[in-house]
Amino acid sequence: MNAAATDSVAAIAELERSAGNESQVPAMNADPFAAYGLGYNDVATTSSETPVWLVNETTRPLIVTARGGAERVLIDTVEAADSALVMVNTRARTVEVSARTSEGVTIGTVALPMDSEPKRVAFPH
């Protein structure tokens, strides 16, 4: 299943084709979700885009990350006593947003529902 979403499989299939001979390896569909029985429209409808205001109420810059599944990803960095508007696009129903200083000190963590409604998160939380 991992090979279904790679471009290299389709490239190999194209190399094996000759004018009079069909390839033994079928060319992959351009849609990487087709192997899972989903199309782009199915996947797009399962994700939501939620505006989130990140407010830094500390005197130090913060690194803000989010986790809505297995991996934590960087959302943004917010300067001291500043704020930033970010758009979180995810299929997760809830996203855990965390802030820390550049020294690694955790300032706070909050769980946000991803329902497309604007959110505001102030740190420290």
pLDDT digits (tens, 9 = 90+) for 98-125: 999 999 999 999 999 999 899 999 999 8
Task: Give the E-state strand segments of 1-125 in sequence order.
Answer: 48-56, 62-67, 72-78, 83-90, 94-100, 106-113, 119-123
| Mean pLDDT, the chain, whole residue set | 80
pLDDT at 8: 45
Q: 90 or 9: which carries more pLDDT confidence?
A: 90
pLDDT tens-digit readout, 13-69? 444 454 555 545 455 556 666 666 666 565 555 788 999 999 999 999 999 999 998
CB 67 within 8 A of CB 95: yes
Domains of the chain with CATH codes:
2-43 (no CATH), 48-123 (2.60.40.1110)
End-to-end CA distance of the chain: 41
CA distance 122 to 67: 17
Q: What percent of the chain has pLDDT over 70?
A: 64
To which residue do tokens 């199915």 refer? 42
